[in-house]
A and B are shown apart, each in its own frame.
Chain A
Amino acid sequence: MTDKNGFFDLSKTSFTRRTALKGLAAGAGLAVAPGFVRYSQAQSSAPIKIGFQSHRTGIGAAYGRWYEKTTAAAVKAINDAGGINGRPVEVIIEDDGTDPGRGAEVVGKFATQHKTDIVYGTLFSHVVIGSAPAAGEAKIPYFVVSEGHHVASTKLNRYVFQPGITDVKSQIQSMAPWIAANAGKKVTQIFPDFAFGYDHRDYLPPALKAQGAEVIAQIAIPPTESSFTKYFPQIPAETEVIYHVMVGPAVLTFVKELGEFYGSNRPQLFGFIDSLEATDINSPGLEFLDGSHFWEGSPRYAQPDDSPAQKAYRAAVGIDDNGAAVGDPKDVSTAAHMFGCWETLYVVKKAMEDAGYKGPEDRTKLVEATEALTEFAEGPEHPQGPKTFNGKIHQCFGIQNISKVEGGRLNVVHKTKIEDGLYEPEGDYTTQAL
């Protein structure tokens, strides 16, 4: 199918330097842009098109790469099993540069140029929040894999869903009972001084209090900091647990300096693996973490009690027993989060089938069908574990893993219950007009 008005037809354009000077070069160049490829097949055989908003460049690139691998594996599995409603799934990827401004443009591009059925796959919270208005205005369902609380906060809009990964508020709340019972009652938090850190700052204290423990100090570290030694004297001497969620490239320095500060006589350490996703736990400088505990969404290392579904998922995505790419032990995955891509795509499949989805004209039906979902059983489609879904806040709830660093690997020592992470809904998207 060609562009009806011929505006972008390169063959009809005299493409000289003079015309370029008149400003037509950009427009003409678009004629060969990937987005102008159109399908002329009958709708019944045309693929379901999923626009994947990927962090290929920018700060989220390590996550983006593994999100793409997981997505490719899930789409292959879905297509091998007959696709969605008998139609194959096609993924179209656009890089958002991990930038909210570009993110919104990419959502617009999916909706109006690629004409995808949905948009999917965004991780970083600021990109999700920046892109959500564009999805709501284009009325295109937007399935994110972000773990931020922004979707469940009901501050976005009815077209935004997070059905494949739990949100950070739920994760933090789930950790509190184990920390209070096993690590200690007096907790000092060290977190980055931006939104990701604030979630931990705000949600952990009440969760610990409910378990009879308390946060005795909160140390916010500016995102521009590259050395942390000067902050450690602020840690109260009676601290029993240091709860750390440092992220970014400075984490290696942070751990090394913390080790130098405490030596062998340290409090218990509890952290979120977000700090060390795509980083080898055996990297030089991380020895100090031996014996400490981490939250993991899905375990990085293969566990003795892995279900057949978990084993099949790992094989399909291509990660070995150490959570690194098969054939490249140094290419460590973002295992704790990327399972969310796999599971989200199966939720999309289920919702599209429930809605009898045929094309963009059925997007509102897809929204309602997704909102009607309530449970996802553990199995090949949900290898991380069982989940419940709250259609009013567009957020799933599931189990979490607590792993101990021992012998150079992360061993799961505790799995939380779904109920540990439930909280009162803060709103109701279903009251918004479609």
Chain B
Amino acid sequence: MSEASPAKAYALHLGVIALLFALSFVLPAYHHGLLARIMVLAVFAMGYNMLFGYVGLLSLGHAMFFSAGLYGAGLTVYHFGWSVPAAFAAGLACGALLALAIGLLALRTSGVAFMIVTMMFAQVFYLVILYFAAWTGGDQGLVVPQPARILVLGSASLDLTNPTVRYMSALALFSIVLLVTLAIVRSRYGRVLVAIRENEGRTKMLGYDTFSNKLAAVVVSGAICAASGAAYALLFGYVGSSFASVQYSILPLLWVLLGGIATTLGPLIGTLFMYYVVDVTSGYTSAYLLIVGIALILLVLFFPKGILGTIRQRWLGWLP
């Protein structure tokens, strides 16, 4: 991977943000709403990519971080009537704390064992949600009341159920996380994470505390996923246990693999691609998952490193 000037990398990312901003004014209503949802879930994928792409830790339990944010925000609004910013902060804190606790335990393992341990913790988290059904709504979930989804900023108030406000809120979250991710991966800390991924033993020999660095990465990753979950609850108004199921641990893996592992923009591309393949093909056949499967096989054949990963390998080596 050749090095790009910071200006070039930031210009590309700001360009993507500008494009998403511009799309808000030209997209038909349905795609406008769908893209807002995709941006929120792309944040989930970016959080996953932070750990999987840059540290090389394959987790099968990230649904728990997403749903920690989802429930952290949703339940504080539903049961305690917290404001939107406080609920979002609660979601974020839940995800970060959970990631810290899980990281302390799961990082004692690596490889396949790490995958299994994270999956088991996520399953525990899922069952805990079902167990406390009186609070969480169990498998049916809860609706976050519409009047509570209003963001009050001084004298102004923003109704998060309004499509434009929702889109811009999703874009704001996406942009912040994208730029933070870019800053992290370009920082010294980001280099250490890549070094751990490439050869942990050598990194340790060079004097780095790999456990602490990995733990920090788990917390950052968990916090980003929780931010996505909290935003999902507040922007779309539903909190449900299906988001804690194993399916939602596999989806970000798929989105990242599709878009390009260890690329900052790959998660967005992967999420966008998967969403539209499902959306378009399900209009034609109930066997749409078969078509999704074929699309995935073709991608693996022609874009083995994911869409952006392959582009970086073949043409644009400077892509972060």
Residues of chain B within 8 A (CB-CB) of A129 are 137, 140-143, 238, 240
Identify the closest chain B residue to A96 (Cβ). B282
Interface membership of chain B positions 278-293, coded 1 if the CB is closer than 8 angstroms to chain A and 0 otherwise: 0110111010110000
A398 within 8 A of B: no
Query: Do A125 and B146 touch (CB < 8 A)?
Result: no
Choose one: A29, A126, A133, A134; the contact of B144 (CB below 8 Å): A133
**When A100-B141, A148-B140 are in contact, do A7 and B284 touch as well, CB less than 8 Å?**
no
State the CA gap A170–B31 with chains docked (Å).
40
Q: Which of B37, B139, B277 contacts A195 (CB 8 A)?
A: B139
Q: Counting CB contacts under 8 A, is A99 at the interface?
A: yes
Query: Of A26, A109, A125, which contacts B277 at CB under 8 A?
Result: A26
Q: Which of A237-272 contact B (CB under 8 A)?
A: none
CB nearest neighbor in B for A20 = B307
Decide: A109 near B26, CB < 8 A? Known: A104-B236, A126-B140, A195-B139: no
Is A112 interfacial (CB 8 A cutoff)?
yes
Given A7-B28, A134-B236, do A95 and B286 touch, yes or no (CB 8 Å)? yes
CA distance A95 to B285 in the complex (A): 9
- Can you list, as one digit per residue, whether each of A134-158 has a CB less than 8 Å from chain B (1) or not (0)? 1011000000000010100001110
In contact, A133 and B236 (Cβ under 8 angstroms)? yes
Taking the complex as formed, is A291 at the interface, i.e. its CB lies under 8 A from any CB of chain B? Answer: no
CB of A35 within 8 A of chain B? yes
- A326 → chain B closest CB, angstroms: 23
In the assembled complex, how far is the CB of residue A235 from the closest CB belonging to chain B, in whole angstroms? 23
Residues of A within 8 A of B33 (CB): 105, 108, 112
Question: Of A23, A27, A155, which one neighbours B143 at CB under 8 angstroms?
Answer: A155
A130 near B283 with CB under 8 A, answer: no
Q: Is there a chain B Cβ closer than 8 Å to A193's Cβ?
A: yes
Give Cα A108–Cα B38 distance, bound, in whole angstroms. Answer: 14
Distance between Cα atoms of A129 and B273 in the complex (Å): 27
Report if A112-B146 is in contact (Cβ < 8 Å); known contacts: A56-B286, A94-B283, A100-B242. Answer: no
In the complex, are the beta carbons of B146 and A108 less than 8 A apart?
no
Q: A232 at interface (Cβ–Cβ under 8 A)? A: no
Q: With a 10 A CB-CB cut-off, give which of A26, A132, A223 has the most chain B CB atoms.
A: A26
Minimum distance in angstroms from A158 CB to a CB of chain B: 10
Task: Give the total of A residues in contact with B, Cβ under 8 Å.
Answer: 46
Question: Whole-angstrom distance between the alpha carbons of A100 and B243 in the complex?
Answer: 9
As a 0/1 sequence over residues 14 to 48 of chain B, the CB contacts with chain A under 8 angstroms (1 = contact) are 00000000000011111111100100000000000
Contacts of B32 in A (CB 8 A): 112
User: Which residue of chain B has its CB nearest to the CB of A130?
Assistant: B238
Q: Which of B127-145 contact A (CB under 8 A)?
A: 130, 133, 137-144
Chain B CB within 10 Å, residue with most, of A5, A35, A104, A137: A137
One digit per residue, 1 when the CB lies within 8 angstroms of any chain B CB and 0 when it does not, for chain A 91-107 equals 00011010111001100
Which residues of A sit under 8 angstroms from B237, Cβ to Cβ? Answer: 133-134, 137
- Enumerate 30 A-B pairs (CB-CB under 8 Å) in ascending A order: A21-B307, A21-B311, A26-B272, A26-B273, A27-B276, A30-B31, A30-B280, A57-B289, A95-B286, A100-B238, A101-B238, A101-B242, A104-B236, A108-B30, A108-B33, A109-B30, A126-B139, A130-B240, A130-B242, A132-B238, A133-B143, A133-B146, A133-B161, A133-B236, A137-B237, A155-B143, A194-B138, A195-B138, A198-B133, A223-B130
Residues of A within 8 A of B (CB): 3, 5, 7-8, 21, 23, 26-27, 29-30, 33-35, 56-57, 94-95, 97, 99-101, 104-105, 108-109, 112-113, 125-126, 129-130, 132-134, 136-137, 148, 150, 155-157, 193-195, 198, 223
Q: Please list the 9 inter-chain residue pairs (A to B) with the smallest Cβ-Cβ separation, ordered nearest first.
A: A133-B237, A26-B276, A113-B30, A112-B29, A112-B30, A195-B140, A56-B286, A194-B139, A34-B283
